[in-house]
A and B are shown apart, each in its own frame.
Chain A
Amino acid sequence: MPNFSTNEFKPGLKVMLDNEPCSILENEYVKPGKGQAFNRVKLRNLRSGRVLEKTFKSGDSLEGADVLDIDLEYSYTDGEFWYFMDPNTFEQHSADQAAISDAQKWLKEQERYEVTLFNGAPLVVTPPNFIELEITETDPGLKGDTAQGGSKPATLTTGAVVRVPLFLSEGEIIRIDTRSGEYVSRASKS
């Protein structure tokens, strides 16, 4: 991969820092009139998701990271790996537990996921912002209770547990915001 100098550190650029692939978020140039120039850089570690701040001497460089974001369709899991398929080339990619991480709660067959490939292997799997899943287990619904507040836990097909309004019952399909893990709406009636 090519090296990138501090003046090429634009938001979105993927670089290697301490052997970790990172994405540049911000780059601020600071320099005393008569002194050394620095770049104060904010980066996100793509593996851990953590944001860190690092200062470089202006003109220093980092190696680019071989990182690519692609949309893949989730196929299945054998318990050890989770398999995704490129719908255009039918190429298969296997993601390990670390790459799946929190996305495991929102995995649904034939759904599209953004997969970040690092050196060709899945590094992070990001679910779509909204996903529709079926309730497999919850307390019986209270008919006619749609106006009132209150919520109850509901288990979904993926095993995820979300808080849902009291009127929902098993078998219903609901829409979830995967970023907050919150119920959004009822998707269809059972």
Chain B
Amino acid sequence: MPTWEPSAQIADLRSRGSLLSEIRGFFEARGVLEVDTPILASHAITDPNIELFAVPTGDSERFLQSSPEYAMKRLLASGSGDIYQLGKVFRYGEHGKKHNPEFVMLEWYRVGWTHYQLIREVAELLTNHLPVSSWQVWPLAALFEHFLGLDPREASAEQLHDASITAGINFNGALEKLDYIDLLMTHIIEPQITDWGLVFVTDFLAEQSALSRVIDRMGMPVAARFEAYFQGVELANGYWEECCPVTLSERFNEDNKKRLARGQVLRVPDPQLLHALESGLPDCAGVALGFDRLLMLTLGRDRMSQVLPFDWMNA
């Protein structure tokens, strides 16, 4: 039932305010510049797993951004140096215990860094707030080997399907390979790493590279990408950024092929991002971190609504 009262306790909203200012302090001390790029922009991302809210603006529709990534990369290509943004982002239909369609994302970029250097900085930020002092790094393949006894890089969709049944997942229908990886990650692995403290998962499948570069790992191509988990909750997603506009253009086209196959609306790849990459994106690593989830885990809350002034149902 909707109510006029806040979803969160006032004491938790004080913690929310403090965390926002502590994060700004963290970056100020490190000489990273705060930016506030547009939330309502002309293009939507092509990722078939992320849908945006389209807003009519008179002449054409615009999109509430799901991350400030594209605009921040345009700044990086213009010589901004290290930058961060702490602000609202939007994802259509993402509503649940740990999801709110409108949420606060902390995203930052470090010029000249690899994702390994960035993992250290993410860990420093997180251990400042979470009740944990150390952290561990697991390649995705090692995690799957440990819990499911298979190598996700080599496994077929059928093998992953069988593994999901053996693991006790009762799934309705058939999936593509990458979706099985997500199914196993969310249903089997995440619930089993809840007492592992702070965990960084790296070396995702090349097909999961999104906007990260693909690097060689002992003869196998892997995505130079990481995700941070605390108590089994995904907190951050980082890349050693792919700078080549041709490579990214190809990936955007692949995204649209998937969209077409799934009957989703196609998205025009953002030409301004591609122009920026053509003019030269400096080597950099970037990461997006869910602020509301960090606050939830810091305060020991298990629903996102408990840390929001007004959650989706009461907004």
A43-99 contacts to B, CB under 8 A, are 52-60
B79-106 contacts to A, CB under 8 A, are 93-99
Q: C-beta contact mask, B168-194 vs A, less than 8 Å → 1, else 0?
A: 011111010011011101110000000
Which B residues are CB-close (under 8 A) to A34?
47, 49-50, 208, 210, 237
Among A28, A36, A60, which residue has its beta carbon within 8 angstroms of that of B183?
A36
Q: In the complex where A29-B94, A29-B95, A29-B99 touch, is A35 in contact with B172 (Cβ < 8 A)?
A: no
Q: Which residues of A contact B234 (CB under 8 A)?
A: 32-33
> In the complex, what distance in Å separates the CA atom of A87 from the CA atom of B59?
62
Q: Report the Cα distance A151→B290, complex, angstroms.
A: 61
Question: Which of B99, B172, B227: most chain A CB closer than 10 A?
Answer: B172
CB distance from A176 to the nearest CB of B (A): 36
Contact with A along B207-221 (1 / 0, CB 8 A): 010100000000000
Name the one of B170, B175, B178 contacting A54, with C-beta atoms under 8 angstroms: B170
- Once bound together, how far apart are the Cα atoms of A53 and B237, in whole Å? 29
Nearest-Cβ distance from residue A177 to partner chain B, whole angstroms = 32
Of residues 257 through 308 on chain B, the ones whose CB sits less than 8 Å from some CB of chain A are 288, 290
Across the interface, B96 reaches (CB within 8 A) one of A28, A32, A36, A55, namely: A28
Which residue from B187, B208, B210, B288 sits with its C-beta under 8 Å from A55? B187
Q: Evaluate whether A35 and B96 lie within 8 angstroms (CB atoms) in the complex, with A54-B170, A55-B171, A55-B187 already known.
A: no
Q: In the complex the two chains form, what is the Cα distance from A36 to B164 in whole Å?
A: 15
With known contacts A7-B93, A58-B93, A32–B185 Cβ distance under 8 A: yes
- The CA of A59 and the CA of B264, in the complex, are separated in Å by 12
Contacts of B187 in A (CB 8 A): 30, 38, 40, 55
With most chain A CB atoms within 10 A of its CB, the pick from B49, B50, B227 is B49
Task: Check if A31 is an interface residue, CB within 8 A of chain B.
Answer: yes
**Could you tell me the distance between the alpha carbons of A28 and B190 in the complex, rounded to whole angstroms?**
15
Which residue from chain A places its CB closest to the CB of B236 in the assembled complex?
A: A33
Residues of B near any A CB (own CB < 8 A)? 47, 49-50, 93-99, 169-173, 175, 178-179, 181-183, 185-187, 208, 210, 227, 234, 237, 288, 290
17 contacts between A and B (CB under 8 A): A7-B93, A30-B96, A30-B98, A31-B99, A31-B186, A33-B234, A35-B182, A36-B49, A36-B175, A37-B49, A52-B170, A55-B169, A55-B187, A57-B172, A57-B179, A58-B93, A60-B172
